[in-house]
Every structure is written in C-alpha cells, then in structure tokens.
Structure 1
C-alpha cells in the first residue's frame, strides 16, 4: 500500500542500524524528512507554509474564509529512538486529509471548515528544551522570540538551526477550529486487550525540574575524603531519592525518572564540580503528584543542608491533568463503531502536542497499539494492520470534523482567544 511505502521511505531519514531513527529537531535528517513531507504536499495538492518557529502546515481550502481543522503530530525523534513515535501521526494525517479532500471533491463530504496537516516543531524536547515547543508557541503558551533564542548543548539557537535546514518561516498559522492527532500508544494496554483504537480522555499530570548540584573541583588522588565537595555524590543521592518516591505510593501510581545527567568537568581524576540533571515525575492522580513534589523538594533540601554540596532548582514546571472535550471523545467512538473497529477510552501517560491544543480548541486524540508497550527505543513497533486501521479511523474522524460535527459550538471564551488561530 502507498502509505506503508511512504512510511518506509520517511523512516529512512536518520535511520539507525537497529531499525529506529535518530532525528532530533532541526537537524539535517529532520530537514530531509520535512522536505519529503513538503514534496508529498505538493504532489497531492496541498499548499505548504512554515511559521516562524518551524511548524509546517499543508493546507487545503474548501470554504473561503472558514477556519481550519488541524490534524498532525511531529517528525522529530529522541536520540536512537523508534520510527513510529510522532512520524506515524504526521503521515497518517496527510493520508487522512487527502482522503477527506477527495471525498469533498466527489461530493460525499460537505465541508464547513478547511483542512490543514501540521508537523509541530520540537515535540520531543531532546535537542531544545522545553518539549511541545512548536505547539506551545501556536497556542500562546510560549513567546516565539524567546523560543528562537533557545540553544542546544553546542550553543546553536533554534533560529539558526531552523535557518540551516531551510525551515525558519514567516507565514501566519492557519486559524484553527479543532484538532485531531493519532499516535502509537507507547504503552501495553491496547495490545494486551486486543483493542484497535484508543480514545484519549485526559492526560497524566507531570512535573519537570532542571536541577544543578554545585560542588568543588579537586584532585581525586590528592584530596582527603573529608575535604571533598563532590557534586556527583550529591546528585546521585537525588537520583535515588526520585526513584524511591515511587515506592511511597501504590504500584503504578507514580512514575519518576532522571533522564538527563551532565557532569563537569567529567574527567577520571577530578572530583566533579557540577552536575545538572532533568527530573520528571508523573501521575494520573494530581494529589499523588503534589505529595511526590513535596517529598522531592524535601529530599533535595536535605542534600543541600548536609553541607557538602549546594543544590539549586533552576526550573520547575507543572503540566496539569486536563480532559479532552467530551464531544470529541463521543465523535471518535461513533466513527470507530461505524467502521467496525474496537475502541476504548483511556488516559495518555506521555505528553503530546494535543495536550496543548485541547486548551484552545476541541481536540481528538487517538492511539493505535504498541507491541509490548515499548517506545523511545529502536525496538518500538506497531504492526502494519494497526497502522492502516489507524489511518482509516483518522480519516473518518477528520471527515466528521470538517463537516462541523465539533468546533461549531465553541464557547465564547475559546472562540475569542487570539491563540486559537
């Protein structure tokens, strides 16, 4: 099938030997994938535009002056990651949108809104922080000028990186009336239950921290233990404290990780002077998350109070648990039923661009199964049949959205927000 052939081609950009991809935001391989998508848009009658922070849109106009149903995901990946995370959702959106456009042309769908496929910039947040960057600018959560100044570890700014790959645009984003996204589950539930489609009702709450442990550089072979101020020892205590938090609550109630860890000067015969780390804690229960937050702060304060090192919390951000609009959930359930696809309601543990979009417009978030629940790994896998069922489900969902089955009766608060483009 054409979709699977195109997905295989797209997965070749940044491909790893183990079958995954390494395609961080605004790298050369990300640029090659974006050019593939732009060429796809051109061949299928979509108009490609790029906004100031690198979000790509493939638009098709049905009703002059009407707002757009947006559908998409992201093409960037984590380092040595799977090829399905994000990228599947972008290509599925393109195919679904093309099918809907053909239905409009044949007269089987009468549109009330226009349609735009979107590739959001830097969803992953691995090269540039924070994550969900492009969609965050779109909804007005982040300032575009501030985001363009963000640098990676080598000091390259977002502005320069986008310019280097030819995707620092200046187009005005399309006015949005609703949004849909499909994604691999990144968990085991759908596969274990033998269910084809997940319909997301809310996101897990999350807190993310950037922490620096300050010590004092000295010689490992000449500095007495009592005189050391070892930043790595202090940092290690915090890592273990974060992991230990998860044992203080019922099983699966809390997730906690340190995913990024940098040591300075990182020499074998130097006591580390500084360690920076990123801590991530998540729960479906906001009360559990807040209890864990207080416990983590207490653990950090205890390390700082011992006197060997000093600890600073450089940034701390909360992503609250909020619901997807019920009309979108019900629309997706009706679509799955009409297509004969099994479905279930579920939460998303991971963050997605749809978490941002649902703050400004009615949003539908769909999942397809992940084999063994593995993601952010080269072992990530979703079977072809599930990929194709997902495209079919997304096309039916988007057709209903283009017809105006959600998005018409937006509240005056949502409709009046400038960020709801």
Structure 2
C-alpha cells in the first residue's frame, strides 16, 4: 500500500491547470482538461489495462480478471470549476487508480479471480461549469440524459460539446462496460465530518434539486440620453430577481433550503448601453421536495409581478430537476463494516451537492464515501483536505472495492423506482 505514490500522483495532477492561489482551472474539454485526460490514459496503459473512451467522453480503465463478467466501477471526474479547488473530483479519480493497482496486485498474488472485474472511470463534465447540465457524462451513461442532445449543448461562446471533445481528441466511439456496482470517494464539501471529528462519511441520500432558466427581456437604449422613466432595463430587473432567489430561503426553517444564482450573462454588455437581455440560472436545493416546490412557486409568482412593474418580459423554464435518490442500505452497511474493520470512525449523512454516484445509483448498487473538507469550503481555490485524510479515504475505497468485486452487493438492486424518494 504505497501511500507516497498516491500522494505524489495527486499533487502532480494538481499542477495541471494550476492557479496562482493553489486551485485549478480545468473546465470540461479544455486544453487543461485534455492534459489530465492524457495523464489518466497514460496511467491506464502503463498498468497494462484496457482504455476505452465512449461517445460522451467518459474514460474507462478496465481490469479484466474474469472474462465475460460485469465490472465494478470506481472513480470520479478530473474536470473542475473555473478557479476551482484541486481536490473536488480529481481526488476520487487518483484514489480509484491506486485502489485498482492494489487490488490488481492482490489478484495477481492470490491467483483467484474475483466474481466481478474492475474499472476506473473519469466521468466527463461532472462540474457543468462550461456545459450545462452538470453530471453530464455519468447521466448519459446511466440513460438519464440523451447523448446526441448533450453533444449539441453549447458553451457561452457557442462551441458544442461535440466540437470541444473532438478538438481535444476525446470524442470516443467505444461502448462502456456492463456495470455490477459503483463506488466513489469525494471530499465532503461541508463541515460535518471536520466538526465532529469523523473520518469517513457514508452518503445515504442526495438532496432534491430544482434549477430555473430565467431570461429577462428589456429594451436596449443609451445610458446617458434615455430618460429614467423611458427605460426598460433588463439588468435592473434581473438584479431584483437575484435578490428574490437569495431571500426566498428566509421563508423556511434555517438550513432547510439553499439557493443561488451562479451564472449571469447580459446583452449587449456595453458600458453605455442599457441591457436588453439578461440570462441567469437559479439553483434551489433541499432535503424536502415540497420545500423546493414551494420556493419555486413563490419565485414564479413574484417574478410575474416584477415583470409587470418594470414593463418587461421574463421567461422562466424548469431546468435540471433532480429527485432525492437514496443509496442502498446494503451498501451503507457494507461500507460501515469496512470502516470498522479499518478502525475508522464513520457516520451517515446526506449530500447537498450532486455527484456522479447519484446518477450511477439509478442503474447499479452504488456507494458514496466522503472524507473531511477543511472549513467545509469547495468550488474555490481555498478548498483543502489533508494528505492524511486522503490516504485514509484511499484505504477505505480499496476496502469497499475489494468487497464489491467479490460480489458483496450482488443481491442489492438500485433500480430507479427504489432510489426515488
């Protein structure tokens, strides 16, 4: 169990797309993302495993021990947010590579092939910073999103997923492996584990997510020559909508709902022109679906009133609605046992953020593991997890994967109907 080699690889990957303040900027299908993909491909080939790239850019490193058997997948994603953290996603991929190496060595030494094969995966565009929606590659793989539709999604400059993947050489044609199970380790992106001094988080469910695609249409005019009474300023109206999205959380119990507007574009974006159009995306999340639905209804009603007051038009569309998904009890019990055998403290918790495991949980028994995040911060350059906690998580992932390839969850079914709240 060479922890030093794992840490060396992790910190090397963090140099790809590194920012001035210890973060990374490796948005999906950019040149920086391509470099991490090249690194991943080299790791797979050097280990003697088969490399596959599918039609949405997902990368698989396949260890075939038992010919014809399905695969347990372990991994995460290598893409990042703009000016993001170096741990989110990349930790899970590098940990999966090293867990697979450990298990491959065990199989070679023991001489007995496990029930299932193993594959390490780097999912495409989990972050959704350049191309929306997020969790794209794993959702296409799981059949939750249509591949051709996702390939046509443009970024803000008009470049499509199809063209971007083609430009970096990762628009593949291979078919992904048949899946028997899935496990992913990730930083918590919250404060619970650090605050309670717990080593491992066992994710039992995801939060309900509702996004709103909002288009505010005003009238372009001169910022100096147009009288205030004659303006139809889309940006002023949009700024009030942003505050509505923020303030709607006050209608519910503290911590029950989180909301934000993280992306905004305006036209024509000139310092001497009143904005004619603003596009923004509102994000609502809660552990209670009714809370999100109530907040959505209030926002739509308030936006209608605002549009009349400003004599403008606002178009609101539902976007990227995700139900609560519950992880299989058998997987939680298995992970709890692995943690106990390793002498690690653990506890169950929900994930407020989305992850590839949430998509995979609809098609195969899945296990989602967390390690502590310092100060609970993520999606920023200050994101941090200690080397010691990362190594602990690697040991945990290795133990879980060992159980999964042996068939520990063969009777656990994570069918879509069972996974929904």
TM-score interval for Structure 1 and Structure 2 normalised by the shorter chain: over 0.9
**Which secondary structure state, in structure 2, belongs to the residue aligned with residue 276 of structure 1?**
strand
Does structure 2 retain, via aligned residues, the 8 Å contact 1:76–1:121?
A: yes
Displacement, 1:314? 3.8
**Which secondary structure state, in structure 2, belongs to the residue aligned with residue 391 of structure 1?**
helix
Does structure 2 retain, via aligned residues, the 8 Å contact 1:24–1:76?
A: yes
User: Structure 2 length as normaliser, TM-score?
Assistant: 0.96
Q: Which residue of 1 aligns with 2:74?
A: 71
Does structure 1 retain, via aligned residues, the 8 Å contact 2:328–2:413?
A: no
Q: Which residue of 2 aligns with 1:386?
A: 389
Task: Work out whether 1:199 is the aligned partner of 2:202.
Answer: yes
Out of 215, 218, 223, the residue aligned to residue 218 of structure 2 is 215
Q: Which residue of 2 aligns with 1:171?
A: 174
Does structure 1 retain, via aligned residues, the 8 Å contact 2:96–2:397?
A: yes
Q: Which residue of 2 aligns with 1:339?
A: 342
Does structure 2 retain, via aligned residues, the 8 Å contact 1:4–1:384?
A: yes
Q: Give the alignment's Cα RMSD to 1 decimal.
A: 1.3
**Which secondary structure state, in structure 1, belongs to the residue aligned with residue 401 of structure 2?**
helix
**Which secondary structure state, in structure 1, belongs to the residue aligned with residue 381 of structure 2?**
coil
Displacement, 1:121? 0.2
Q: Which residue of 1 aligns with 2:407?
A: 404
Matches within 5 A, 1:67-146: 67-107=70-110, 110-146=113-149
Separation in 2 of the partners of 1:300 and 1:62? 58
Displacement, 1:177? 1.0
Displacement, 1:207? 0.4
Tell me how many residue pairs correspond in the alignment.
Answer: 413
Structure 1 stretches of 5 or more lacking a match? Answer: 415-421
Does structure 2 retain, via aligned residues, the 8 Å contact 1:331–1:397?
A: yes
Q: Which residue of 1 aligns with 2:358?
A: 355
**Which secondary structure state, in structure 2, belongs to the residue aligned with residue 306 of structure 1?**
helix
Does structure 2 retain, via aligned residues, the 8 Å contact 1:100–1:109?
A: no
**Which secondary structure state, in structure 1, belongs to the residue aligned with residue 358 of structure 2?**
helix
Matches within 5 A, 1:211-360: 211-360=214-363
Out of 153, 156, 164, the residue aligned to residue 153 of structure 1 is 156
Separation in 1 of the partners of 2:291 and 2:376? 24
Matches within 5 A, 1:366-377: 366-377=369-380
Structure 2 stretches of 5 or more lacking a match? Answer: 417-421
User: Structure 1 length as normaliser, TM-score?
Assistant: 0.96
Change (3 A) 1:164 1:73: same
Change (3 A) 1:345 1:218: same
Task: Work out whether 1:52 is the aligned partner of 2:55.
Answer: yes
**Which secondary structure state, in structure 1, belongs to the residue aligned with residue 226 of structure 2?**
coil
Change (3 A) 1:274 1:166: same
